[in-house]
Amino acid sequence: MKSLELKDRIEAQAYDSYGQSFYELHEKEQFVTVGNAVMEYLVPKWIESKKKFSQQKQAYYFSAEFLMGRALSNNLTNLEIEKNVKETLEEMGVNYNILEEAEDDAGLGNGGLGRLAACFLDSGATLDYPMSGYGILYQYGIFKQNFVNGFQVEEADPWLDYENPWLVKNSNDTVIVEFSEADKVEAVPYDMPIVGYGGNTINTLRLWSANAIEKFDFQAFDEGKYIDSVKAQNEAETISRILYPNDSTDEGKQLRLKQQYFFTSASLQDLMRKYKEAGHKSFDDFSKLHSIQLNDTHPALAIPELIRLLEQEGVEFEKAFDITQKTMAFTNHTLLAEALEVWNKDLFLSVLPNLYPYIEEINGRLVSELKEWKVDESKWDKFLIIQNNSIHMAFMSIYASRAVNGVAAIHTDLLKTDVIREWHGIFPNRIVNKTNGITQRRWLLQSNPQLSAMITDLLGSREWITDLSLLKDLEEKYTDDAVLGRFIDIKKEKKQELADYIQFHEEIDIDPESIFDIQIKRLHEYKRQLMMAFYIADLYNRIKADPDGQWTKRTFIFGAKAAPGYYMAKAIIKFINELADRVNADPEVNGIIKVVFVENYGVSYAEKLFPAADVSEQISTAGKEASGTGNMKFMLNGAVTVGTMDGANVEIVEEAGRENNYIFGMEVEEVEAKRGNYDPEIPLQETEGLAAVVESLTDGTYHDNGTGMFQDIYDSLTGGDEYFVLEDFADYRETQDRISHDYRDSKAFYKKGYVNMANAGKFSSDRTLAEYAEEIWHISKFQ
């Protein structure tokens, strides 16, 4: 794209969209204008990609969330026109960084499950695989997080208030989703281009927005019933308004169920329409041309819905089940029993009365097979989809899929030996492992250009951008003082960038010479943000007792959102913010340690945090974290892991060496042995300083504004300590103190980080995606 051509496109887009010169627009309008100019460049390539895959089997990734982040820089990077566009904008007197900041993070996801989906789409396009995503176009995403008096307060995140240049409405592909005979809505598709690195393949993420079929009741309006006149439209739009509505009420549960059915039904109707338009007279070949990956149980309703739609096309049940089973594959993302989705039967019938009979048919088929397999009836509770007035979505997903995968080696082993071991006994080859991955294009090339340039220089090529395994060739180069010195200088530069960013956004000064110890992820009790907070509280107490001691400067950074209905998670956020206020306001301590809880943590903030980290906190109770992908992003950017042997930490240690990380705590077998035979009073009494920290929850040291939240945290610990925060604390503290000691020899400490970076090749989503494509989906690159 030539500079003059780009300038002309930008100016033309400005007049076309806003009727003004580009130079007269404000920052968000300028962003939209540049985005539209980029879209004008990539749309022909997008159309060509759709054509080239039209005759091949394709994969379709069904997910309730896609945590995409900003798209401008990612698209420019993958199209390899970033330098050209930046130089052109500079010639026009436009600050690209300000333009980039004007783009809102896409409100399409929340946690690791959604970010994994985004990485997979990037890898699919980069590797030239025919792969599309299907989800919901949430109007407000999950929520915008603010802290008020230390409490999390949720606000709407109107990320679509301004025109989004990356979304293309395709009204001609609108379908009708029927919840019941009296409850139907339109599903209107919006397509987002997924640009593979090099721009050779541009795949599609199709997102559905809900509209009323009859959008305006003129008669009601004419009668003065103004609210009633738009009631249908408001109710329909609610379906695609918010990601993960609070499901602590029946109304919230019903809305979640509607969302799940809405996007799965719309997506399947879309695929079946295209299949028929391609000239197929029967559905015999449907599974030969479509592979659908269910990203957790949120899209599991696709199973009975595909059977229902096939029966409407004249396919009898057994054949429809066979086609469905050959089409579907299921990813399990959890080891938590409470996270295995179960719907109340009566609630389900109230929302989806037309779909329930198909789940009954699937369950009836399963019962027949359990009898045929001679499974003891006393064990049927481990299999039945419908039981105790409940519908078990995970069981249906396992039964009606051809492959079920875990997302880390230890996670998959635990699925086989514990969580769904009975299913593994019946289908010994169905449960497979696909260790998660991340895309190096966003999490290294884009977010850490300094380290990317160093890697390219050392390897002598840019091939690592699409083959991360090449990083292994860097491993022994840390013995070169110049190489390690450059690595350390880059880390210092990224730490200074983060310090400046935090000062601007949080108004907190942090010391780039301190250890940057970072825990960023969803707020959940099993992830044990509370244990990190307890270490800080204990360290604070120790510094106060010996302010002149030899203390290593440390900055502890948290980033996390708590689900709106998750009371204990919100209580922990309040405690961490109270702790931060106490530490940061104490002049005797705040020159040694600082605590920051960043507001509204998301992808764009993460792009600043991962490259700057010295220490990656991965401290979940062993056996609870399925995989994690944040741990991989930290590793790729040269941080050491302090963590338990849980999730992908196990494989990180295998790749980079235990000696280059900081492993502590009970392992899975020890946790299981301790469970049911554990008295939290023992570690409270035996661990010096721990009782004082726990008692500070309720003795007036920290204040919860009269909510009783801190008392509830105290009671949960002393009454059972389900996630073994107290039991693992002593080992965690000793390990953290060792990090402080080791950091004093910066060369030796950063050598560990360098070795982690050099051994991160396994954790590319390119590797994971290729395994799915070849071993589960059986799709091929463009021939």
Known catalytic residues are: 333, 521-522, 527, 629, 633
395 and 385 in contact (C-beta within 8 Å)? yes
Report the distance separating Cα 576 and Cα 572, nearest Å: 6
Q: Sort strands 390-392 and 386-387 into parallel, antiparallel or unpaired.
A: antiparallel
730 and 610 in contact (C-beta within 8 Å)? no
3-state secondary structure of 281: coil
573 and 142 in contact (C-beta within 8 Å)? no
Which residue's entry shows tokens 């690592």?
464
Residue type, 295: N
Report the distance separating Cα 613 and Cα 762, nearest Å: 20
Instruction: Label residue 601 exposed, middle or buried (CB < 10 Å: 0-12, 13-18, 19+).
Output: buried
Q: How many CB atoms lie within 10 A of CB 695?
A: 13
Cβ neighbors of 190 (< 8 A, separation 6 or more) are: 137, 167, 168, 169, 170, 206, 207, 208, 209
Question: Hey, what are 76's tokens?
Answer: 């420019």
Q: How far from 519 is each of 555, 607, 611, 630, CA to CA, in Å? A: 11, 14, 13, 9
DSSP strands (E only) in 544-592: 554-559
Strand partners, 431: 404
What is the gyration radius of the CA atoms in the chain, in angstroms? 27
Q: How far from 601 is each of 30, 112, 558, 577, CA to CA, in Å? A: 25, 13, 9, 15
Residue 224, sorted as left (phi over 0), alpha (psi -120 to 50) or beta, turns out to be left
Which residue's entry shows tokens 């009783």?
708
Report the distance separating Cα 87 and Cα 2, nearest Å: 11
- In angstroms, the first-to-last Cα distance of the chain is 27
Strand partners, 294: 62, 330
DSSP strands (E only) in 296-341: 328-331
Report the distance separating Cα 97 and Cα 91, nearest Å: 14
Report the distance separating Cα 708 and Cα 262, nearest Å: 39
Q: Which letter does DSSP use for residue 315 in this model?
A: -
Report the distance separating Cα 409 and Cα 648, nearest Å: 7
- DSSP assignment of 721-753 equals -TT-HHHHHHHHHHHHHHHHHHTTSHHHHHHHH
Find the helix packing angle between 3-18 and 27-52, rounded to 10°: 110
578 and 150 in contact (C-beta within 8 Å)? yes
- Of the candidates 647, 646, 637, 632, the residue with the CA atom closest to the CA atom of residue 762: 632
Which residue's entry shows tokens 């840390």?
478
Find the length of the chain. Answer: 783
Cα pseudo-dihedral 11, 13, 15, 20, rounded to 10: -70
Q: How far from 265 is each of 254, 346, 352, 716, CA to CA, in Å? A: 16, 21, 12, 41
Q: What are phi and psi of 433, to 5 degrees?
A: -105, 140
Question: Hey, what are 262's tokens?
Answer: 């809405």
Question: Hey, what are 470's tokens?
Answer: 């090449």
3 and 83 in contact (C-beta within 8 Å)? no
Report the distance separating Cα 459 and Cα 456, nearest Å: 5
